[in-house]
Amino acid sequence: QVQLVESGGGLVQTGGSLRLSCTASGRAFSSAARGWFRQAPGKEREFVAAINWSGGNTNYADSVAGRFTISRDKFNKFNNTVVLQMNSLKPEDTAVYYCALGRGPAVMEATLPNRVTSWGQGTQVTVSS
């Protein structure tokens, strides 16, 4: 069983930046796509960004494209850490952010909740206006 642990959330002002990390442990995580989702109070969980197993293909929600960047930690030989760099943050980005493990290696496997096999515990991101 794979475990995902997020870190890096916090409080930031509008226009600021935050960096989220997600580290996986357990079995069969290195060959799977990884993603980030978020859930604001009273709203459904929504897709934010995803990356395929090798790091060569990414996908973003329209609401974050151009501001957020997902990547795999190049210096991690186990290929178990994914980073979400969030720039130009807006109040509407406020949510709990969840790391996700896709069902397979392709990027699309980590873009839909029903294709996710493991979730992290979530980390709060709050953007003040």
The predicted-structure confidence for 104-129, as pLDDT tens digits, reads as follows 999 999 999 999 999 999 999 999 99
Quick check: 102 and 110 in contact, CB under 8 A?
yes
- Residue 80's pLDDT is 86
Predicted confidence (pLDDT) at residue 29 exceeds the cutoff of 80: no
Mean pLDDT of the chain: 93
pLDDT-based confidence at 31, cuts 50/70/90? confident
- Amino acid at site 112: L
* pLDDT for res 28: 60
Of all residues in the chain, the percent with pLDDT exceeding 90 is: 82
**Chain segment 5-20, per-residue pLDDT in tens:** 999 999 999 999 999 9
Asked if 45 and 59 touch (Cβ cutoff 8 Å), the reply is no
Q: Has residue 27 got a pLDDT over 70?
A: no
- Least Cα distance to 101 among 125, 84, 80 occurs for 80
Q: Which amino acid is residue 16, in one-letter code?
A: G
